[in-house]
Amino acid sequence: MGVLLVLAANITDLSLSPLDFLSIAVIGALLSIGTTGVLAAGLMTLSAVLSMFGLPLEIVTLIAGVDALIGIAGTASNVLGDIVGAAVADKSGRIRVA
């Protein structure tokens, strides 16, 4: 969501301060906790954060076109993380008998 908000700020020529970036990260983390497993939750949370920063909600329509691709990339990242975590747990859990 942070990248999308920065994109929206660039589209509207809004300059963001370092404090804005920090608040984007904190707000994004808090909003993502409550929307786990909800379809198209990214668009809903993006709408909320856009309005918090005074950006037009029309940007959500631009993002909606690529939201499926963003979701696919996020799912691939989560699956890869699960595979790596399972492989590490498998390697560290084996007992070697001499």
Nearest to 40 by CA among 61, 10, 11: 61
Task: Judge residue 23's burial from the number of C-beta atoms within 10 Å of its C-beta, 0-12 exposed, 13-18 middle, 19 or more buried.
Answer: middle
In the predicted model, what is the mean pLDDT of residues 11-16?
86
Give the 3-state secondary structure of residue 60: helix
**Residue 59, both tokens:** 């940007």
Query: Which tens digits make up the pLDDT trace of 23-49?
Result: 888 888 888 787 777 777 778 888 888
Q: How confident is the model at residue 31, as a pLDDT?
A: 81
Question: What number of residues does the chain have?
Answer: 98
Per-residue burial over 31-47, b if 16 or more Cβ lie within 10 Å, else e, is beeeeeeeeebbbebbe
Query: What is the average pLDDT value for the chain, to the nearest integer?
Result: 83
